Amino acid sequence: MGVSNIDLQNYLKGVSYPSKKVQLIQKAQENQAPRDVIDLLGNLPDREFSSVADVSRAAGETY
């Protein structure tokens, strides 16, 4: 999957951290994220994320 950190930042714009996975997915959907971004977020571990950098790190560990 080719989701860059910049893509994540754009599609997660407006998220209040800390945030749970389900909130990240909801905000990405509101921001018109494509399916690959939604899938990537859906594969994240169920925990709270403290920042978009935290999400990026977790996404990197997933793939």
* pLDDT surpassing 80 at residue 1: no
Residue range 20-26: mean pLDDT, rounded = 97
Rounded to whole angstroms, the Cα distance separating 19 from 49 reads 5
DSSP 13-60: TTPPSSEEHHHHHHHHHHTT--HHHHHHHHTS-SSEE-SHHHHHHHHH
Domain count, the chain: 1
**What's the pTM value of the predicted model, to 2 decimals?**
0.90
Residue range 30-57: mean pLDDT, rounded = 96
Residue range 43-60: mean pLDDT, rounded = 94
Rounded to whole angstroms, the Cα distance separating 56 from 11 reads 12
Give the domain range for residue 45. Answer: 5-62
Q: What percent of the chain has pLDDT over 70?
A: 95
CA separation (Å) from 51 to 8, 19, 54, 55, 58? 11, 8, 5, 6, 11
* pLDDT surpassing 50 at residue 6: yes
